Amino acid sequence: MLTDSWQLGPLTVPNRVVLAPLAGIGTWFVRLQAKRHGAGLATSEMVSSFAIHYRNEKTITELLRVHPDERTVSDAPTSLQLFGQDPEIMKSAAAYVREHVEGVDVIDLNMGCPVPKVCKTGAGAALLKDHDTAVKVARAAAEGSGLPVTVKLRSGQRPGETDGYELAKRLVEEAGVAAIAFHPRSAQVHHKGTPDYALAARLVEELPAPVMLSGGLHDAERARRAYELTGAAAIMLARGSLGNPWLFQQLLGLRDDEPTTAEILRELEWLMDRAVEHLGPERGGRWLRKAYPWYVDRLGGGKALQAAMQQAATVEQARETLYAAV
């Protein structure tokens, strides 16, 4: 059952519906939102191990921010996703997190990011072809942080390749990785196409550690089917949860119906307030431009309303534009 707890190393995860890492999105307030709606574990956006090692200010003060409410809202753990290909730098970044960031329970490592800027340094999906380094990086993250380490990876770099599947086994056996988050699409297709759930099912069968499934979990029906098909320990919501935190509740049997207009507006208001709290009115307003379409879509609003909100000079003006239209 999706509502059953499971073990991630020494941690008990209270249920099997978790939030995926989402770059530029998975701030403390998006994680908190997911947890408010029931998520059993919430992962941060990816953070550069080099940026932590060299104490990049924005990285330290913004990306590494964990809000105290993330702890009190539920007993769901918080996972911080790091990326990087240098074991020493990874160890140093993980040690910084252990010493200076309260509220991180798990370190997740990104070995699936297809973005050229990341891959050309040898990080992200490049590690799918460099298993020795990948194992060293995972060991270093565990040594530095003293926390359970998970790795999120893809099936391979190109369609048909299964390097990720092979690497997952080495990571568990040789680096003691506590769980694998598996996105069974190749890096080359980015987020398009049908995930290879049969390959995920094989990994679940063979891996002596839990597998969290990622990919194509865009609504409750598809997510339930993929969960059953693969036998994964947990399912990881990504794009399906954007502007739709109620998907966590639906999958956990906490509600069947779709959110009302009032609920959607309340949730968007909550997000607007949190974005401003985190980044201030100006940068918060810019952050929110990506989020408006998710909620306006749910409200049945069209592209014109989305664009008007995105073009608003202030968050207040975006709010007025919204209320004038709904």
Ligand X SMILES: Cc1cc2nc3c(=O)[nH]c(=O)nc-3n(C[C@H](O)[C@H](O)[C@H](O)COP(=O)(O)O)c2cc1C
Site for ligand X, rule CB under 6 A: 20-23, 25, 45-46, 81, 110, 112-113, 152, 183, 191, 214-218, 238-240
Q: Which residue lies nearer to ligand X by CB, 20 or 251?
A: 20
**What positions carry a catalytic annotation?**
113
Q: Which residue lies nearer to ligand X by CB, 89 or 180?
A: 180
Q: Which residue lies nearer to ligand X by CB, 187 or 308?
A: 187
Residue located via tokens 């739709």: 244
Q: Which residue lies nearer to ligand X by CB, 179 or 265?
A: 179
Minimum gap (Å) between residue 169 Cβ and ligand X:
19
Minimum gap (Å) between residue 320 Cβ and ligand X:
28
Q: Which residue lies nearer to ligand X by CB, 244 or 265?
A: 244
Residue located via tokens 């798990």: 106
H helix and E strand count, the chain: 14, 10
Minimum gap (Å) between residue 91 Cβ and ligand X:
20
Instruction: Return all residues near 48 (Cβ < 8 A) that are at least 6 apart.
Output: 56, 59, 82, 83, 84
Residue 92 token pair: 């140093």
Minimum gap (Å) between residue 131 Cβ and ligand X:
18
What's the sign of the alpha-carbon dihedral 165, 154, 113, 111?
Answer: negative
Torsion of CA 275, 281, 286, 290, to 10 degrees: 30
Q: How many CB atoms lie within 10 A of CB 24?
A: 9
Minimum gap (Å) between residue 324 Cβ and ligand X:
29
Closest CA to 193 of 176, 215, 171: 215
Residue 62 token pair: 């913004």
